Amino acid sequence: MAMSAADIEALLKTAFPDAVITLEDLAGDNDHFAATVISEAFRGIPRVRQHQLVYAALQGRMGGELHALALQTSAP
Amino acid sequence: MDKPVFAEIQSLIDSSEVFLFMKGTPMFPQCGFSARVIQILKQAGVPFKTANVLENQEIREGIKDFSNWPTIPQLYVKGEFIGGCDIISEMYQTGELQTLLDDKGIAHAA
């Protein structure tokens, strides 16, 4: 199973409306992505929490439908 | 939500100051992300223990709920969840991982 870049971006945009999102399909297989998410939601919180927020936004798909998402998060 | 396997996971974490849940073993990692973290820990010259989640389905699923983290590998330092491959890589590159080890009083080479 795989997710399209548009699906991922839509979920992230819903959770982080202000986010600047860069998404790269690393292997061209809709299964290995690299994402950079820049949002005010991440300001002042530890990186682990930032990534947990992103995984929560993906509603359980990470580790299942979505095999690999290399993640970088930061505040603007 | 407490599961029976959580006690087993906790005792693994308590068994070493630096503990990694991974796919495969340090000698034969079976996933690129696990391999990357092993490489970093070796470069950092810090002693660590590992559990191979591929050998234990209960731990493989349990650790995801335990840490509230959907993927493997997962690194713990002195009982604290530090992160997965991306976070560890970023922390090693910026020197934060070395600072963390210093702060926690764990000897390391680099």
- Which of B88, B105, B7 shows the shortest CA–CA distance to B41? B88
Backbone angles phi, psi at A34, to 5 degrees: -120, 130
**Alpha carbons A76 and A36: distance in angstroms, whole number:** 12
Nearest to B71 among A47, A60, A62 (CB): A62
Kindly report, residue by residue over B6-16, the tens digit of the pLDDT: 999 999 999 99
Whether B7 contacts B37, CB under 8 Å: no
Give the residue-averaged pLDDT of B50-64.
96
Give the residue-averaged pLDDT of B55-77.
95
CB-CB neighbors (< 8 A) of A64 in chain B = 70
By three-state DSSP, how is residue A35 classified?
Answer: strand
Kindly report, residue by residue over A2-42, the tens digit of the pLDDT: 678 899 999 999 999 999 999 998 887 777 899 999 999 99
Neighbours of A33 (CB within 10 A): 23
- CATH T-level fold of A5-74: GMP Synthetase; Chain A, domain 3 (3.30.300)
Instruction: Give residue B10's Cα distance to chain centre.
Output: 13
CB-CB neighbors (< 8 A) of A55 in chain B = 69-70
pTM given for the model: 0.89
Question: Would the CB atoms of B71 and A72 count as touching at under 8 Å?
Answer: no
* Residues in contact with B70: Cβ distance below 8 Å, sequence separation at least 6, in sequence order: A55, A60, A62, A63, A64, B64
Pairing type for strands B49-52 and A68-74 reads unpaired
- Which of B87, B73, B76 shows the shortest CA–CA distance to B38? B73
Q: What ipTM describes this predicted complex?
A: 0.80
Q: Is the minimum CB–CB distance between A53 and chain B shorter than 8 Å? A: no
Extended strands (E) in chain B:
18-22, 49-52, 74-77, 80-83
Q: Is pLDDT larger for residue B24 or for residue A65?
A: B24
Domains of chain A: which residue ranges? 5-74
Question: Would the CB atoms of A72 and B86 count as touching at under 8 Å?
Answer: yes
Domains of chain B: which residue ranges? 4-103
- CATH T-level fold of B4-103: Glutaredoxin (3.40.30)
